[in-house]
Amino acid sequence: MRRLYKLLYNNAILSFLLDPKFKEPITNVTAPVGREAILSCVVQDLAGYKVAWLRVDTQTILTIASHVITKNHRIAVSHSDHRTWFLHIREVRESDRGWYMCQINTDPMKSQIGYLEVVVPPDILDYDTSTDMVVMEGRNVTLRCAATGSPAPNITWRREDGQQIQLGNGEEVASVDGPSFNITKVNRLHMGSYLCIASNGVPPSVSKRIMLTVHFPPMIWVQNQLVGAQEGQKLTLECYSEAFPKSINYWTRDQDKIVPQGGKYDPVLKDNAYKIHMKLTINSVSPADYGSYKCVSRNSLGDTDGSIKVYPISSSNSSSTKYKGKARHNSGSNNILEGNQDRLKEQDLKLRGHKENGGDVTDYDESSATSNGSSLLLVILVALCLCHHHHPQIRTLHPA
Question: Can you give the residue ranges of every domain in the chain?
Answer: 18-119, 126-216, 223-312
Contact (CB, 8 A) for 50 and 65: yes
> What pLDDT was estimated at residue 17?
53
Give Cα separations from 314 to 14, 284, 287, 291 (angstroms). 125, 15, 12, 16
Top CATH class, 126-216: mainly beta
DSSP code at position 266: E
Residue type for 184, please?
A: T
pLDDT greater than 90 at residue 101: yes
Please name which of 121, 19, 101, 23 lies closest in space to residue 56, comparing C-alpha atoms.
Answer: 101
Residues sharing a CB contact under 8 Å with residue 15, sequence separation 6 or more, in sequence order: none
pLDDT greater than 90 at residue 360: no
pLDDT in tens, 109-122: 999 999 999 999 99
Fold for 18-119, please state it.
Immunoglobulin-like (2.60.40)
pLDDT greater than 90 at residue 138: yes
pTM listed for this prediction = 0.66
> What pLDDT was estimated at residue 378?
53
Residue type for 339, please?
A: G
Q: With the CA atoms of 239, 241, 246 and 252 taken in that order, what torsion angle do they form, in degrees rounded to the nearest 10?
A: -40
Average pLDDT over residues 216-226: 96
> What pLDDT was estimated at residue 361?
39
High-pLDDT (> 70) share of the chain, %: 74
Farthest-apart Cα atoms in the chain, separation: 191
> What pLDDT was estimated at residue 273?
87
Average pLDDT over residues 171-190: 94
> What pLDDT was estimated at residue 334?
38
Cα 353 from Cα 347, distance rounded (Å): 10
> 126-216 with 223-312: one CATH topology?
yes
Mean pLDDT of the chain: 81
Cα 101 from Cα 38, distance rounded (Å): 13
pLDDT in tens, 366-390: 333 333 444 445 545 544 444 444 4
Report the DSSP beta bridge partners of residue 86.
Answer: 40, 78
Fold for 223-312, please state it.
Immunoglobulin-like (2.60.40)
If pLDDT is split at 50, 70 and 90, which confidence band does 89 have?
very high
> What pLDDT was estimated at residue 2?
59
> What pLDDT was estimated at residue 170?
77
pLDDT greater than 90 at residue 93: yes
Report the DSSP beta bridge partners of residue 146.
Answer: none
pLDDT in tens, 297-355: 999 999 999 999 999 998 763 333 332 333 333 333 333 333 444 443 444 444 444 44
